[in-house]
Structure formats: C-alpha cells, structure tokens
Structure 1
Amino acid sequence: MTLPLHMRRDGFAPAAELAAARDEEGVRLFETPIGDRVWLVTRVADVRRVLGDPARFGNSARHLVPGAPALSDEELARVRPGNVLGYDPPEHTRLRRLLAPGFTARRVRLLEAGVHGIVRDHLDAMADAGPPADLVPAFALPVPSLVICELLGVPYAERAEFQQRAADFFDVSLTPEQRMDVALRSRAYLAGLVDRARVDPGDDLLGVLVRAGELDGDELVGVADLLLLAGHETTANMLGLGVHALLRHPDQLRLLRERPDLVDGAVEELLRWLTVVHTGVPRVVTADVELGGRELAEGDLVVCSLPAANRDPDLLPDADELDLTRRPTGHVAFGHGAHHCLGAPLARLEMRAAFPALLRRFPALRLAGEPEFRPTQVVYGLSSLPVTW
C-alpha cells in the first residue's frame, strides 16, 4: 500500500520527501492515499505550537489512528470513552487527573525492582536457549508486556492475545471492517477484565481506579485499552529499534556498555533519533489561523510529524547524527503540552533498565540477519531482529 507522507521512513530516518517537506516548507498540504486533505506540520516550533494549543487546534477523535479511515459513529462510540487521547480539556483534564497517580515518580520507583527483575528473567531465558535469537519476541515484546500486565492486573498468560490485537489495531492497512472487529474483540476482553477488577479490586492501577469510583464501566474499559495498546506498543518498538540502532552504531554501543552512567541521556537521544510514534493524534483547526506562513481554515485537519520535528536543524545543528553523549534536547517523541505522554516515566524506566542490562549480558551481541521493519504500523518498529552473541 502507499503510505501517507507522515508515515514514510528510510530505515531509522524520516524519508527524504518528509525531510524535504520540513526543510522547504514546514507546513505542507497533502492528500492521503485514502483521500483526506491534511496539513502536515514538520518543524519543531510549529509542532509545539499545535500540540500545545488545544483551543486553536482541537482534538480529532475520528482520526485516533492517523493514516487510517476516519472512525464511524459506531466505532467512535466504542473506542472513545475513557481514551484520554480522544478528548481536549476539560474532559481530557478530568481523565488525566484520575490516571496521573498511577504514573507519579513515587509509583514508578515502586515498579523499578520489578522491571529490573523482568529484564533479568528474559535475559536469562535468552542465555539458556542460546544463540541465535530473534530479539523482538524474545525480549523487546515480552518485557513491556509483563510490565503493563502487572500495572493493570492482566494475567501474563493472556499477553500474546493483546499483543496481536495491538499490532492489528495500529496497522493502517486494515479495512474499516477489520478494524471494527479488532475493536470489538479488544473491548470484549477488557470488559471481562474490568468485571473481575470490580469484584476483587487489587493494588494494580485498574483496581485503584475501580475503588476511586469516578469512572463508569465504559471508561474503565477505555482506560485499560489505551494503556495496554499504547503503553505496550511504544516501549516494545523502542527496545527493538533501539538495539538495532546501537548495533548499527558500534561506537555508540561500546560507549553505553562502558559508561552506564550515560544511560539517562542515551535513552533521551534514542527517543529523539528514532521517534517511533509517527504523529500525535491529528488535530482540527477550530478557527482560521496562520501557521508556518500558511493560512489554515476552520475545520482543516492537521498532522504533526514527530520524527521530522525531532531532526529539525532548529532543534539541533547535527540532528541526523546519533550521539549518546548529547545533552537532553527537549524532543517531542512523547508529544507536547496537555497530551504529553502520561506513561513517559514508566517507558523511560523500562529503557534505562533494558539497554544496559542487555549489553552487559551479551558483550558480543551482533546482528545475525536482516531485521524486518513494520512500515504500515502507526508505531514504527521491527517485527524481527535476528541476533547472536
């Protein structure tokens, strides 16, 4: 299939035509393969302006999956309740306030020992099985899966099912009928999970939300759906793609192995340089406005390219270079403004635990074949990463 401009990549980098859109225009009108006319915003200052101003650039809930057909009324009614990405203030503020306690610095610190244990267990399993291995199913997928399972109280034995649903949901090549089928199966599973939590609420986040009593059943299902999909897919793809990037840059890999104190900055640089989320939720212009020298009309659809913005020369003079010693840059890999990723602290914790531990455990880690990219996914990454050691 022909990918929308904002989803086009060349390996780790935005495709040449996407970089050219940033360097030549900044804000460009284009037509997607399914016929939507969209303003593509590619420069970091303009991206921050759009994402930071929900009054002028409002939520487009019908386009929760950028690049896919707009959601029908039926689909919207099923997937929007409880999905914090589907709202602007004040409803967004209410939902985010209820979810925020699950991602405080204190709560994340309480998860730290468990995350390190999960990483260690999967490295042990890789070592016991011996080389070669496919790092995606052996490590990149199961580590964040188990973390999210523990956060929400999902039985780990059921992780494979929701991993597949997540991959299907974020695949823009699906037909509307296929997407509706995924949504129905996901909601049915999660409704059962919520019912269990209501009967016996545990100490996990879902149990905390049930006891708080401020979300109805549909909203609880929506919260669980968002966290399972977004929280798992993003971190899993950062782990797989991040290891691939390090293997392709052996000087940077060696530096991180020898200098584990660099890990915080290294994670930020990998987040910036890879930017696995192509775009935040599309926005709709609420009143005629000027942006990047272009006149946008009320009702126009706006998509922000996060990878292009994170390689904007105005952000860094050598933004196409991977440099793990770089000072943090204020990247937009987690979005910006009110919709800045709520789970960012947890994602950072998982990456800070996973990358150094993997490199220490397997000092001779190297590619054992060609990785397979997932170009049709809203969250960019790899479906396979063959390695040996």
Structure 2
Amino acid sequence: MSDAISFEEPWARTHQFDPPAIFESLRAERPLARMVYPDGHVGWITSSYELARSVLSDPRFSHSTEIGHFPVTHRGQVMPNHPRIPGMFIHMDPPHHTHYRRMLTGEFTARRAGRLAARAETVAAEQIDAMRAHGSPADLVKHYAKPLSLRILSELVGLPYEEADRYGHAPTLLHDPDADPQEAMTAMGQAAAFFTEVVERRRKEPQDDLISRLIADGQLSDEELCNIVTLLLFAGYETTESALAVGVFALLQHPAQLAALRAEPGKLDAAIEELLRYLTVNQYDTYRTALEDIELGGETVKKGDSVTVSLPAANRDPAKFACPAELDIDRETSGHMAFGFGIHQCLGQNLARVELRAGFSALLGAFPDLGLAVAPEEVPLRLQGSVFAVKSLPVSW
C-alpha cells in the first residue's frame, strides 16, 4: 500500500532520549498506521496510548510465534515463525501462557521482591566499592549497572554468579544487533549447556532459589526448566541494567531534576517511574496478530494482520501525559507502559524496581559530584535492537 511506512522508519531515533519523530505526526494523523514488515507483510503500528492498551489487553490478538510477522530483523535476517518452545511462555497465548506464568507469579510478587531489598542494597554497596577501587573515571555500565543487575537476578533464579563468564555474555550479544552472529550463537550454546548443568546440580542439591522450587514442584521437564531460566535471564537482565545506566545518563543531562532528587531523596520512587516512562528502554518487538477481523481506531484489522505496539510512543502520548517530552520527577506517572500491559505485562517488574531503587540510591549517595567523563555526544548508544541502551557510560567523581 502506498501509504504504508517501512518498518525501519519508527526506529530512526534522532535524539538520545526521544523516540523517533515520526510518532508525533503518526499520532496526530493516523495513530493506527499501515507498516510494511520485514517479510513484506503489510500490517499496522500504533503510536497512541489508548490504542496500545487496547491491542495489548484484547484476547483477540495473539502473541504466538506460530503466527504473525516479526516487526524487526535479527542481524538483518527476517525472523521466521516457529512452533511453541516448551517453557518460553512469553510468546504463548492462554492456556499455555497461563499454565507457565501461574507457576512463576509467586516468585515475583511485590512482597517477595521487597524481601530482596536488603540484599539488593548490599550488592549495590559492594559494586560502589568496586567502582572506588577502580578509580575515577569508570564505566558505569561495566563496573556498576551490569554486575548489579546480573548478580541480583542470578541469585533469585539460582545461577552461580561466580560462573557468570559461562552465561552472562549471551544476553548482551543477543540484544546487540551489531554483535558478531557466530559469537552470539556460541555464547547462546554455552549458556544453554550451563543452564542444563545447573538444573542437574539443583536436582541433587536443592537450594533456596527459583530453580530448586520449580524442580520440587515437579511439573516441568528439564527442557522447560532451562527455557524458563533462559527467558528470565534474557528478559530481566539487559532491560534492568539498561534502565539503570540510561537513567543515570538522563539525570546527568537534566541537572535541575537531579538536583531536585538529591534535595529530596524521598522522591526516588517517583523519579524511577518517570525515568521508566521517559526512556522506555523496551523499544521494539511488542507486537500482536489478529485472530479475527477487529475494528480498531477507525480501521478494520483483518484476521492475520500483525500490529506493532510502540511502547515508547505510547509513553510520550500527550493525551495521557502532559508535556511528555519533558523529564519531570514530580509528574503523575500511573499507568505508564514501560513494562507493557495486559497478560504479558513484565513478570519481573517488582524485582526491577527493587534493583533500580537500590542502584540509584547507592550511586547518588556515594558520589555527590558524579558527572560524565566525556561529552554527552560521545556516549555510545545502542539505538537498534530490542533494548535501548548505552554501550558504556564513562563517569567521574
């Protein structure tokens, strides 16, 4: 169709923290717009908050990989449909999705995550010590955000962090569109083999971790267990690490907001929610496929049509958030969609908030004069890929 945009257009960022400018015009003119997917399918993309919530909450839209059209390529290659992968419930519909998610919900409640707060604070303090030992300047990503996120998630799941060299590189390589494909595949294979080994260890010697509890529950095969571990690591590590690192970068670029937060540390929780909304690091790969003809936004989405939901655009919709392009830690952020919406809303969001609270609090408390060690335009960004990130963030104090 002549009015359909290319799938590449909505990912063309022109500013460090802002979604592509095309969403402004799309939202005003056609918030449900035609888009040509990488495989040639002409589907849709939403840019409004209201339509995003409608699509993600409507059971007539599927998230199964058995149907649908991926809105991005993987290292330039179109991603094909494939059968359900046992345990990989993120791309399943009910009842399969419900079956797996129900087993894990109790592990990620606000109460369970809250019990990890003290441990998260300890880990953050230890990483602050590691930064001090390294000396100024230091890379906040390498020396703080990555190890903080990976350590806490590993402990919850049951992966021995002292062996992180066997699994920690795989998520980064998978999310990086510029990574060498062979290196990424090798890392994925090594991580999968390691997860199988850890499951076997926990069968013999259970510990107080998620893997051991799932084994004791007795409902899952080893294949399902390993795939669930893979999903939790790949969905929860890079996203939280990136939210922390890019969040620090954003605060350093908004000194008045940073000063207000330092003056009133009690605003930290509100500031985290605003940073999640403002940055929305989960930028791609949120799409659904119509199981029947559906009237949406004044258009008819035909059965089999795929609809991409831009979470960054939804979180910048002025119909929901006043002056959405501004970072404002005093704003009312309830209802933001940084963690998605509907039945697939991020399972680990409570844990992510605990990690971010510990991470920001320790960092701002330890380094009152924290600043960038390079010019802002020299900070290397990862603009493509499923997670918006900074590849490194040199800071000094």
TM over 0.5: yes
Q: How much does 1:356 deviate?
A: 2.2
Look up the match of 1:306.
Answer: 311
Q: Is contact 2:37-2:71 (8 Å) kept? A: no
Q: 2:295 aligns with which of 281, 290, 293?
A: 290
**Pairs aligned (count):** 383
Once the two structures are superposed, what CA deviation does each residue of 1:117-166 show, in whole Å capped at 9, x if it has no partner? Answer: 00000111112222001111011111010001101111112324433211
Using CA pairs under 8 Å that are at least 6 residues apart, name the structure with larger relative contact order, 1 or 2: 1
Does 1:59 pair with 2:68? no
1:211 alignment partner, SS class: helix
Please list every run of 5 or more consecutive structure 1 residues that lacks an aligned counterpart in the other structure. Answer: none
- Partner SS, residue 13 of structure 1: coil
In 2, the alpha carbon distance for the partners of 1:304 and 1:24 equals 17
> Which residue is 2:224 aligned to?
219
The alpha-carbon deviation at position 37 of structure 1 amounts to: 3.1
Deviation at 1:60, TM superposition (A): 3.2
One-letter amino acid of the counterpart of residue 35, structure 2: F
Alignment map for 1:162-311 (pairs within 5 Å): 162-172=167-177, 183-279=188-284, 281-311=286-316
Report what 2:133 is aligned to: 128
Partner amino acid, structure 1, of 2:64: S
Residue aligned with 1:61, SS? coil
CA RMSD of aligned residues (A): 2.2
Q: Kindly indicate whether the alpha-carbon contact (under 8 Å) linking 2:282 and 2:388 is maintained by their aligned counterparts in 1.
A: yes
Residue 30 (str. 1) matches residue 35 (str. 2) = yes
For residue 264 of structure 1, what is the amino acid of its counterpart? D
1:143 aligns with 2:148: yes
Residues 234-281 of structure 1, C-alpha deviations (whole Å, 9 max, x = no match): 100001100000000001111111211111111110000000001454
Identify the residue that residue 4 of structure 1 maps to in structure 2. Answer: 8
Q: Which range is displaced more, 176-185 or 288-297?
A: 176-185
> 2:82 matched to 1:70?
no
Choose which of 319, 322, 325 in structure 2 pairs with 1:317. 322
Structure 2 counterpart SS, 1:38: strand
Distance 1:109 1:82, change over 3 A: same
Inter-partner Cα distance in structure 1 for 2:211 and 2:179: 30
1:377 aligned onto 2:390: no
**Secondary structure of residue in 1 paired with 2:43:** strand
| 1:65/1:6 CA distance change after superposition, 3 Å | same
Retained in 2: the 8 A contact 1:5–1:18?
Answer: no
Q: Which amino acid aligns with 1:379?
A: V
User: CA separation of 1:227/1:165 partners in 2, compared to 1, >3 Å: closer, same or farther?
Assistant: same
> Is this contact kept in 1: 2:43–2:306, CA < 8 A?
yes
Distance in 1 (alpha carbons) for counterparts of 2:7 and 2:381 = 14
Call closer, same or farther: CA 1:184–1:129 in 2, change over 3 Å: closer
What residue identity is the alignment partner of 1:316? F
- Structure 2 runs not aligned, ≥5 long: 1-5
Are the structure 2 counterparts of residues 179 and 21 from structure 1 closer, same or farther at C-alpha, using a change threshold of 3 Å? Answer: farther
Q: TM-score, normalised by structure 1?
A: 0.92
Checking the alignment, whether the CA contact within 8 Å between 1:120 and 1:357 is kept in structure 2 is: yes
Q: What's the CA shift for 1:4?
A: 2.8
1:186 Cα shift? 3.4
Q: Which amino acid aligns with 2:387?
A: V
Please give the alpha-carbon distance, in whole angstroms, between the structure 2 residues aligned to 1:329 and 1:359: 25
SS at match of 1:384: coil
